[in-house]
Amino acid sequence: MRMKNGNMESSFPHNGNLYPTRDFYLTCHLSGSGFEIIDIARNGKIATFIFNRTPALEQAVEEFFSPGPIRNFVHAIRDLKSRLYANS
């Protein structure tokens, strides 16, 4: 399995026209941006979300991983969750 930006690139059998990712926040961003989740592959507690690979989707992925408001929002959520559950 090869990971790229937190995304599974090679262990899900696909033909290059599909985009698999395990990243929950990326999936939320893509879904919220209008990209359809075409499948969810489960392996125990691990889910891989599958999208159709298009230039527009790849641009949205690049936008997600670029510095800016989207990344700041995701980091703020992760930081807050860590603080909430650190003393539990």
Mean pLDDT of the chain, nearest integer? 87
Q: What is the rounded distance in angstroms from the CA atom of residue 69 to the CA atom of residue 88? A: 29
The whole model's pTM is what? 0.78
Per-residue pLDDT tens digits for 28-50: 999 999 999 999 999 999 999 99
Range of the domain at 42: 3-86
pLDDT value, residue 3: 41
Per-residue pLDDT tens digits for 43-88: 999 999 999 999 999 999 999 999 999 999 999 999 999 999 997 6
The β-bridge relationship of strands 18-21 and 3-4 is: unpaired
Q: What is the rounded distance in angstroms from the CA atom of residue 11 to the CA atom of residue 36? A: 21
Q: How many domains does the chain have?
A: 1
Q: What is the rounded distance in angstroms from the CA atom of residue 64 to the CA atom of residue 30? A: 9
- H/E element, 73: helix 69-86
